[in-house]
Structure 1
């Protein structure tokens, strides 16, 4: 039997937004903000060795840049989720753009270590306001069944920002130097701010969310957090994000280039190509995972567990190899690291059906906090171990396994509980849909 366009449209749930070209344009504007934020976030990953020379710091102090940035980012996730639920996407995105652009510009002109740290913290604060806002924007403009694919595509464009850092900023830094490169990149923030103020809308006409209370509700914050956290799907999503994301983040954000150059003996050019492979793999795998999860929700946990296992296996093989690891093994590691981001995004697919739309920002903030908390702690552990072992990368990078084990134990503990709760919700919604009062 042929499925017509009309019958596909009828699959939308009551109250679902229609999607379409206008939805894609508005959502794309939000994604452009996230893209810019990721360019700024990951710009230090290709400038780590230059930062050591500019600020005269060692491994621990260098890792503090990324640790502080991620500390601010992770700490802001729940407050940002609450702000998005209360103020809407446009206002939060505009605030984020102002903050991360100011941070990038300040980092460009900083000459002291303390000033540079403050600028990275400011950048992290603005960056924290972007992804949750984009998730909320997608949920407000597209039907619910598109949620997994929309989230993965948003993340894909964020990864493209990482690609710009890896390919373009690295070359500009080599050609023009520190201040012109970082200051020039800040122009992108000013451009997207103008576009957001002029064209972005929180939701399509006729699909307005319930109005926020006119007066401050002292119990709103506590109630939003408590109700989101009470859902096993929210907690499972957070631990999925925690377990899957951080190996690739640590590799791309700071330690991948130094490890490949100083421990594996590669040239900067070859190391940059491997970092690019991580990004390209992320983009390809994200599209595949998004399509699979959108069609088969039961594939969520197997995809996550398989990605975590493959990452641990190849990471261990590279670290255990005597001498320099073969290039083929490094290529395989970087290709698998590219799957970490898409696997972590599945965490949002556990939290999304567990929470109503008016609580989605808060729940997404809790989930997003997981991976960046793991990244922050791992960055610190690697920096401390490098200083303590005389720059022995093989010892320092084994810290990844400890945090993977912690996260994996929590994922396995919560998986059954979240599945049962999700089935209860599906049954309840079907009963409500067919019930006719007497």
Structure 2
């Protein structure tokens, strides 16, 4: 293998990134596949809104809780081994979900979907940081998040078609089989770094783990990245994973086809905004938090217009909603750039894990809150939710936005007190 092939940003780097991106793509698909199957799930398992929300709650809870352990595993065993394990686990879990006929069995399957999902994105970010030059990492990171979200598109319109034509079991078994092909690619193509196929770290004692995590959390740059991720992502995640389809169909009176297209437009927004944000972050890293605050404020304004609109909102406004919410996903990825510039290499994966759990923790809270409020505002425990019930439920977002924005302002002030512009030029600053 030539030096040109193994150099940072070379042909092998692109191949490694491509296979890892495929694994992330499929993980996003499995994560999002319940979004268009929520109403079918209520019939298949004879459950209500709160129980339906438990599927996604369990998945997100496991995903969030696994982020720090996965980061530590990557630091110890390398991203290739962890991503391969996650891909195989995700494949088995999705097959189990396809065959489940009872609510408890399906719930266990979604738990393992969340566990396997948790082992992909951080691994891919570590591969990107090792295989590409530092100046290109922000752009490649945004492209990773943007292209990976294609999985959510496949989980919208095509998954709706598959469920209709193949049925529940056929649709989910067919998609589960994709993981086997990716496992082969991970074994054959992916290397942990240009120098080593497998790059492992030293064993970590409990004392060393506590010291590493304490140092990561104590740095104001990591806390700023945490709250940026927390505040930007949860609206898009909640709509894409579970409540977007019922909200658009029952809350806004749209057809199932139109609702599927609108959910796909969330990902379209991520496609064009991700590379743009990556470029802006690379050129103006001191203004990363300002970019995120601006985007979150736009999300709040448009959601307010939708919820305050007399009757159902017009289609054009719902399209605008999908765009601003969709931009929130790439905005959350900016938080990972804070981990890159705020930590030494030996604790980068664990710091990234701390940040990555933020948005999913917020999404978990919102998914559960929406389900509980819908059941509270719907008489008789029916799954025929009214537009008024959805207005109440979606208004729970304001609590999370207020908390997140306050913390972003708080920690960017702290970060800017301890990191000056000289540190920015050295590539070790936050903002």
Matches of 1:354 and 1:420, distance apart in 2: 14
Structure 1 spans left out of the alignment, 5+ residues: 1-16, 432-438
Structure 2 spans left out of the alignment, 5+ residues: 1-6, 379-384
Query: What residue number does 2:382 align with?
Result: none
Per-residue deviation at 1:402?
Answer: 0.5
Q: 1:206 to 1:421 in 2, by over 3 A?
A: farther
Query: What residue number does 1:141 align with?
Result: 131
> Could you tell me which of 405, 411, 421 is aligned with 2:402?
405
TM-score under structure 1 normalisation? Answer: 0.91
Query: What residue number does 1:239 align with?
Result: 227
Query: What residue number does 1:4 align with?
Result: none
Per-residue deviation at 1:230?
Answer: 1.5
1:245-260 correspondence runs (5 A):
245-260=233-248
Listed one character per residue, the Cα deviations across residues 77-113 of structure 1 (whole Å, up to 9, x for unaligned) are: 0000001111101110011011111110000000000
CA contact (8 A) 2:191 2:198 kept: no
Q: Does 1:416 align with 2:416?
A: no
Matches of 1:225 and 1:383, distance apart in 2: 33
Matches of 1:97 and 1:348, distance apart in 2: 22
Matches of 2:402 and 2:339, distance apart in 1: 22
TM-score under structure 2 normalisation? Answer: 0.93
> Could you tell me which of 306, 309, 315 is aligned with 2:303?
315
Matches of 1:67 and 1:199, distance apart in 2: 34
Query: What residue number does 1:22 align with?
Result: 12
CA contact (8 A) 1:236 1:351 kept: no
Per-residue deviation at 1:39?
Answer: 0.7
Per-residue deviation at 1:167?
Answer: 2.1
Query: What residue number does 2:344 align with?
Result: 356
1:375-386 correspondence runs (5 A):
375-386=363-374
Q: Does 1:107 align with 2:94?
A: no
CA contact (8 A) 1:89 1:137 kept: yes
Cα RMSD between the aligned structures? 1.9
Report runs of 4+ in structure 1 exceeding 4 Å deviation. Answer: 206-209, 427-431
Counting matched residue pairs gives 414
CA contact (8 A) 2:64 2:357 kept: yes
Matches of 2:141 and 2:301, distance apart in 1: 27
Listed one character per residue, the Cα deviations across residues 111-145 of structure 1 (whole Å, up to 9, x for unaligned) are: 00000000000010010010000000000111111
> Could you tell me which of 253, 277, 295 is aligned with 2:283?
295
Query: What residue number does 1:76 align with?
Result: 66
> Could you tell me which of 177, 182, 205 is aligned with 2:167?
177
Per-residue deviation at 1:303?
Answer: 1.6
CA contact (8 A) 1:353 1:422 kept: no
